[in-house]
Amino acid sequence: MALKELNISPVGRVEGDLDVKVYMENGVVTRAHTQAAMFRGFEKILAGKDPQSGLIVTPRACGICGGSHLYCASSALDVAWKTTLPPNALLMRAIGQAAETTQSIPRWFYAIFATDMANKKFANKPLYQEVVKRFAAYVGTSFQSGVTASGRPVEVYALFGGQWPHSSYMIPGGVMCAPTLKDITRAHAIMNQFRNDWLETIWLGCSIERYMEIQSWDDLMEWLEENESHRNSDLGLFLRAGLEFGLDKFGQGVGKYLAWGTYLHKDMYNKPTIEGRNPATISPSGFFDGEKYYDADQKQVAEHIKHAWYTHQEEGLHPFDEPIPTTSMDIHNLENSDFGGKYSWSKAPRFMGHAAETGPLARVIMAANPANKEHQFRDPLFGDIMKRMGPSVFTRVLARMHEAPRLYLKINEWLSQVRLDDEFYIKPTEQDGIGWGATEAARGALAHWIKIKNGVIENYQIIAPTTFNVGPNDKDGNPGPIESALEGTEIEDPHDPVEVGMVARSFDSCLVCTVHAHDNKTGKQLAKFKL
Amino acid sequence: MANVLWLQGGACSGNTMSFLDAQEPTVVELIVDFGINILWHPTVGLEIGHQVSDLLNDCISGKTQLDIFVFEGSVVEGPNGTGQMNYFADRPMKDWVKELSDAAQYVVAIGDCATWGGIPAVPPNPSESTGMQFHKKQKGGFLGGDFVSKGGLPVINIPGCPAHPDWITQILVAISTGRIGDVLIDDYHRPRTFFTDFVQTGCPNARSFAEKIEGGFGKRGHGCLFYEVGCRGPMTRASCNRILWNRQSSKTRANHPCLGCTEPGFPHHDLKKGSVFKTMKYLGFLPQEVPEGESKLMYWFKAGVGKFSPSPSELKEHSK
C-alpha cells in the first residue's frame, strides 16, 4: 500500500541518496536501517595520483562541506610532508572553516529543518500559526531572510579562497592567498552585516554579548523570559515551540559522541604531527561515552563492511590498514535488500568499538569538558542540558544554532590577528609518508588518512560525519547512530511519519534520504518519501 | 513561464549550493519574477516519495509539460552498465535520465560531472560515470552525440566545478522567456556568451603574464600563476574574472591558479604525478601547454625572450 497523500515537509538533503527503512509496531519504530544509495569511489580515484590531488578532488566529494574537506586534505599533507605552518596560514584556514560552518547554520535551520515544524502534525498547538508564519518553506518571513543571510559568510571565504564552493586555497605549507588590509576590512564588514541582518536581529533578539552570558539551562530559560525581544526572536520561538511540540521527547540516539575538534591554534600547530593535533584545537576534540571524556585518538577508529557493498576487506580495520575499496557485485535492487547481508554504500565506522554520533551536539559536549585548556572553548551549557534533558531532536538543533554567536566572535578575532607583514606560506619539501588531517565540518567529525609512496598516493581514506551517523550495522549487528535514534520514535500518523524525517534531519545527514516505512506485522510498505 | 525539473546523479551538490548563492536574480526572484516553476529539486522540492515518482512519470508521459530538464552530477552506469550504483525513486537514475531527456523541451547539464563526467569519470572511473552528451572531450556521453531535445537543441552544457550561479540563472531565464534562440553554443555545447573569453580576461595578473613575471603561493602582488603553479587561465574559457564569485573575488584574484574547470577534461591530465598545482614543463623551463591561439614554437620563442629580459620593478612591489 503505497501512499500518495503525504505531507511531510520537504527539503531533500543534498548530497547523494539515502534510503531509510523503518519498521513500526503500534505506532512506534522498532527497527530502522539506513541505506546509502549512491557510490562514486573517490578513494579509488585518488590511488596512484599526484599526492596533492586530494586538495582538488576531496572538496568535490561534498559541495556543502568542501572547505572542511580541504582543511583535512591540506592538514594530512602537512603531516606527511612535515611542513612548517606560519600562524597566518592557520588563521586563514580557521576563518575559511568557520565561515563555511556559519553559512550552514541558517541555511540548514530554515531550508532543511524548520519547515518540518510547519507540518500539519503540529496544527493543534498554540504556537503553530506563528511557526508557519515564520518557518514555512519559501513564504515564511524568516525563511527568506535566513536563507539570504546564509550566503554572506561564504563571501568571506571567497575573499581568501577566491570562491565558494570548491576552492583549494589551503595547501601544504599554508595558504595560497596573501590578503591585504582591504580584504581584512571587507571581511569584518561582511560579518558585521551578517550579525545585523540576521544573527542579532532575527535569531537572537539581543546582543551576542548578552547571549554569551548563558551558562546553564536555567540561564537560558531566564534569558527567554527576560523580555519580549528574546521571546519573539526566532531562537525564542524555537525554544517555546520546540518544547510545546515535544521535540525534546524523541530522537535520542546512541548516547556516545565523537568530535575531532577543529580550528588549530595559530601558535600551537606550526609543526604539524598526528600527536600534536588534538591539543592544538580551539574547538576541542574528544569522545564522550555518556559519563566520561576520552581522547579522540584516531587510532581508535575502525571501519566495518559486513553490511556495506564492499569486499576484500577484513572487519574493523583502521583507515591506515584498509584497502582501497573494492565494490561488491552483489547489489540488489534497493527495494529487495537483505538486511542480514550487505545493504548500503556507506561503511560503518566505530570509535573504541562504539557507534558514535558526530555533529554540533558532540562539539558542544566537548566544549563542556572541564579539562579544556585556556585556548579552547569552555562552555558548560550543554553539559548541563545533557544532564537535565538528554539528547533529542530539540537538543541537537539547539546545539547547532548555539555555535553561530561564538563563531562570529572567533572569525572577527582571527581576522584581527592576521599579521600582514608575515608569511602565509612556507614551501615544503615533498616526500613519502603518512598523514592524518581532521576537522569539524558543519555536520560533524571529518577526517582524511593519506599514505604517499614513490611520490604518488598509495592509499586515501575519508571518513565523513555522515558515514559515522548514517552508517549501517557493524559486524556485531549494532546499529548506527541514526538507525538507533529512530528506534522508539512514536509515529503519530504512519501515513505521514514526519517524526522520522525530523530525527534524520536533526543529524543533518548530508544525503538525500528516502524513507520507507514498513508495518512490522504485515511487512507492507506504508509510506515512502524524500527527506 | 517554464516548468523546471532538477535531478542529481553522481553529484556533490556543489552546483546546487552555487545556485542557492545566486544574486540578480536570487533563486526566489527567479521563481517569483521570472516565471520559473521548479517542479522538483532534491534540496528545495516540496513533493516526496511517490509524489516524486508520479511527477517524473507525468513528465515522461506528457501529462505535465517539462520545459527544462536540469541534470547535475555524472550519469552513473556502474556496476557493469546496470546503474545500480545510483538508485533513485526505485530505479537506476540513468533510466530516469534517458526518459526525461526524451520528454523535455530542453535539457541542461550543469557542472562538469553532468557535462563531461567530471571527477567521478577520472580513471579508473569506479562508478562508470559519464556526462550527458560528452565523455571528457569526446562527443557521445550517455545520450549519444546525435541527441536533440524536442526544442531542437542538443544538451546545453553549463560546465564549471561548480558552475557560476549567473550562468545557470541566465540560461534558465533565456529558455523561459523564449530567447534561447539568442544563445549561441560552441563545439562543446557551451553558451558562447559565458565561454568565449578566457579566464585571463579581467585577471589582475594579466600584465605579469605578458611580462613573464612569476607569481607564487603566499605572495602579495600580481605575479602570474601560469609559469610555476599551473594556472590554466590563459587556456580556459569562462567569465569568472568579469563577473566574480560570491560578489567578491575569483580564484586568480585570490592568488589561486585557475584549474581549468570549464574545459572538458577537468581535472586535467587525470591528476597524474606532477600535474597538480605545478606547471608541467618542456625542456625543464618552458610551459608544456601554451595559451589558446598560439603555436607552441612561437610562444616558446617569445617566452624565452621574455624570461631573460628585465621586468618592470614596480610590478613586484605591491602594497599590503
pLDDT exceeds 70 at position B56: yes
Report residue B88's pLDDT band, with 50, 70 and 90 as the boundaries: confident
> What is the tens place of the pLDDT at every residue in B258-287?
999 999 999 999 999 999 999 998 877 788
Name B287's bridge partners.
Answer: B281
Residues B178 and B217 in one domain: no
Residue B167 with chain A: CB contacts under 8 Å: none
One-letter amino acid at B251 equals K
Interface of A with B in 408-427 (CB under 8 A): 420-421, 423-427
Residues B168 and B257 in one domain: no
Please indicate whether, in this complex, the C-beta atoms of A15 and B79 are within 8 angstroms of each other: no
**Mean pLDDT value across chain A:** 89
Of B139, B166, B182, at which residue does a domain stop?
A: B182
- Asked if the C-beta of A217 comes within 8 angstroms of chain B's C-beta atoms, the answer is no
pLDDT of residue B47: 62
Give residue B43's pLDDT: 75
Which A residues, 307 through 346, put their C-beta within 8 Å of a C-beta on chain B? 327, 329, 331, 333-335, 345
d(CA B200, CA B191): 18
pLDDT digit string, tens, across residues A278-321: 999 999 999 999 999 999 999 999 999 888 888 878 788 999 99
Determine the pLDDT at residue A475: 87
| Residue B31, domain CATH | 3.40.50.700
Same domain, B122 and B11: yes
- Is the pLDDT at A266 greater than 50, yes or no? yes
Largest CA distance in chain A: 71
What is the share, in percent, of chain A residues with pLDDT greater than 90? Answer: 67
Q: Which of A111, A334, A426 shows the shortest C-beta gap to B44? A: A111
Higher pLDDT pick, B312 / A198: A198
On whether A265 is known to bind a ligand per the annotation, the reply is: no
Residue B134 sits in the same domain as residue B279: no
Q: How do residues A10-44 score in pLDDT, each as one tens digit? A: 223 334 466 777 788 888 888 887 777 778 888 89
Whether residues B176 and B237 share a domain: the answer is: no
d(CA A187, CA A202) in angstroms, rounded, equals 21
pLDDT reported for residue B307 = 60
Q: Which residue has the higher pLDDT, B172 or A33?
A: B172
Query: Where is pLDDT greater, at A81 or B48?
Result: A81
Would you put residue B189 in left (φ > 0), alpha (ψ -120 to 50) or beta? left
Distance, CA of A530 to CA of A473 (rounded, Å): 22
Task: For residue range A507-530, list pLDDT tens digits in order.
Answer: 887 653 444 445 555 555 554 444
User: Is B320 among the domain residues?
Assistant: no
Which residues in A lie closer than 8 A to residue B267 (C-beta atoms)? 53, 56-57
For chain B positions 49-108, those within 8 Å of chain A (CB to CB) are 49-52, 54, 74, 76, 78-80, 82, 84-90
Residue B200 domain-assigned?
A: no
Phi, then psi, of B28 in degrees rounded to 5: -65, -40
- Single pTM value for the model: 0.94
Is residue B311 over pLDDT 60? no
Helices (H), A313-388: 360-367, 381-388
Average of per-residue pLDDT across A445-466: 95
Q: What is the pLDDT of residues A394-413, one digit of tens each?
A: 999 999 999 999 999 999 99
- Angle (CA) A143-A149-A152 rounded to 5° is 155
> Using H for helix, E for strand and C for coil, what is the string for A386-403?
HHHCCCCHHHHHHHHHHH
Contacts of A8 (CB under 8 A, 6+ apart): A116, A119, A496, A497, A498, A501, A529, A531, B48, B49
Tell me: do B139 and B26 sit in the same domain: yes
Does pLDDT of A392 surpass 70?
A: yes
Which residue, among B182, B236, B199, B21, has the nearest Cα to A64 in the 3D structure?
A: B21
Same domain (yes/no): B93, B165:
yes
Cα separation, A377 vs A518, in Å, equals 43
Q: Residue B291's pLDDT is what?
A: 82
Measured between beta carbons, which residues in chain A are less than 8 angstroms from residue B92?
Answer: none
Within 8 A of B20 by CB-CB distance, chain A residues are: 107, 147, 150-151
User: Considering chain B, what percentage of its residues have pLDDT values greater than 70?
Assistant: 93
Number of domains in chain B: 2
Q: Is the pLDDT of residue A387 over 70?
A: yes
Local confidence band at A329 (pLDDT 50, 70, 90 cut-offs):
low
Listed range (A31-35, A375-379, B251-255) with the worst mean pLDDT: A31-35
Report the chain A residue with the minimal C-alpha distance to residue B86.
A38
Each residue of A492-510: pLDDT tens digit?
Answer: 877 677 788 888 889 887 6
Residue whose entry in the numeric block shows the C-alpha cell 501529462:
B63
The whole-number pLDDT of residue A72 equals 97
Overall average pLDDT of the A226-254 stretch: 97
The answer on B105 and B231 residing in a single domain is: no
Q: Based on the domain organization, do B170 and B212 belong to the same domain?
A: no
Rounded Cα distance between A134 and A267, Å, is: 44
- The model's pLDDT over A133-188, given as tens digits with 9 standing for 90+, comes to 999 877 789 988 898 899 999 999 999 999 999 999 999 999 999 999 999 999 99
Helix (H) or strand (E) holding B40: strand B36-40
Contact by Cβ (8 Å): A286, A272: no
User: pLDDT at position A530, please?
Assistant: 44
ipTM above 0.85, yes or no: yes
Contacts for B87-90: CB closer than 8 Å, 24+ residues apart? B87/A17, B87/A19, B87/A37, B87/A38, B87/A333, B87/A334, B88/A17, B88/A37, B88/B7, B89/A514, B89/B52, B89/B53, B89/B56, B90/A334, B90/A335, B90/B53
**pLDDT given for residue A22 in this prediction:** 78
Among the CATH numbers 1.10.10.410, 1.10.645.10, 3.40.140.10, 3.90.700.10, which is that of A17-530? Answer: 1.10.645.10
| Residue B190: inside a domain | no
Residue B198 domain-assigned?
no
One domain, residues B169 and B247? no
Residues of B in contact with A9 (CB under 8 A): 46
Instruction: List the single residue in A45, A162, A527 with the smallest CB-CB distance to B122.
Output: A45
Distance of CA B16 to the CA centre of its chain: 13
Domain co-membership, B30 together with B85: yes
Question: Is B249 found in the same domain as B131?
Answer: no
**Does the pLDDT of residue B49 top 70, yes or no?**
no
To probe the interface with A, which of B128, B256, B258 has the most A CB atoms within 10 Å? B256
At A175 the pLDDT is 98
pLDDT for res A517: 46
Q: Report the pLDDT value the prediction gives residue A10, as an integer from 0 to 100.
A: 25
Domain encompassing residue B160: 2-182
Give percent of chain A with pLDDT exceeding 70.
Answer: 90
* Mean predicted confidence (pLDDT) in B284-312: 72
B157 falls within a domain: yes
- Structure confidence at residue A330 as a pLDDT band (50, 70, 90): low
